[in-house]
Amino acid sequence: MDIKKIEFQQHGDSRGMLVVAEYQKEIPFTVKRIYYIYGADSETRRGFHSHKNLQQIYIAIHGSCKVTLTDGKTTETVCLDDAASGLYIGHNVWREIYDFSDDAVLLVLASEPYSEDDYIRTYDQFIQTQTENI
Ligand code: TYD
Q: How far is the CA of 28 from the centre of ligand 1 (A)?
A: 23
Q: How far is the CA of 7 from the centre of ligand 1 (A)?
A: 26
> Hey, is 126 helix, strand or coil?
helix
Measured from the Cα of 49, ligand 1's closest atom is: 6
Q: What is the pLDDT of residue 134?
A: 64
Indicate the DSSP class of residue 8.
P
Mutate which of 34, 46, 96 to test ligand 1's pocket (most atoms within 8 Å of Cβ)?
46
Give all strands of the β-sheet with 85-89 in edge-to-edge order: 3-7, 85-89, 56-62, 105-110, 33-38
Global pTM value: 0.95
Below-50 pLDDT ranges, the chain: none
Mutate which of 31, 32, 35 to test ligand 1's pocket (most atoms within 8 Å of Cβ)?
35
* pLDDT tens readout for residues 22-61: 999 999 999 999 999 999 999 999 999 999 999 999 999 9
